Amino acid sequence: MEQTIKTTFEKLSAINVNDRVEKKNGLTYLSWAWAWSEVKKACPDATYKIKETDYDEQLGFMCHTEVSIDGETLEM
Q: pLDDT (tens digit, 9 = 90+) per residue, 11-68?
A: 999 999 999 999 999 999 999 999 999 999 999 999 999 999 999 999 899 999 999 9
Asked if the structure places residue 15 within a domain, the reply is yes
In a domain, 1, yes or no: no
The yes-or-no verdict on residue 3 having pLDDT over 80 is no
Residue 22 structural domain? 8-75
Model pLDDT, residue 4: 80
Q: Is residue 39 part of a domain?
A: yes
**How many domains does the chain divide into?**
1
Residue 54 lies in a domain: yes
Question: For the purposes of burial, counting CB atoms within 10 Å of the CB of 69, is it exposed (0-12), middle (13-18) or buried (19 or more)?
Answer: buried
Residue at 29 is within a domain: yes
- Residue of 31, 66, 26, 61 lying closest to 46 (CA atoms): 66
Quick one: pLDDT band at residue 2, thresholds 50, 70, 90?
A: confident
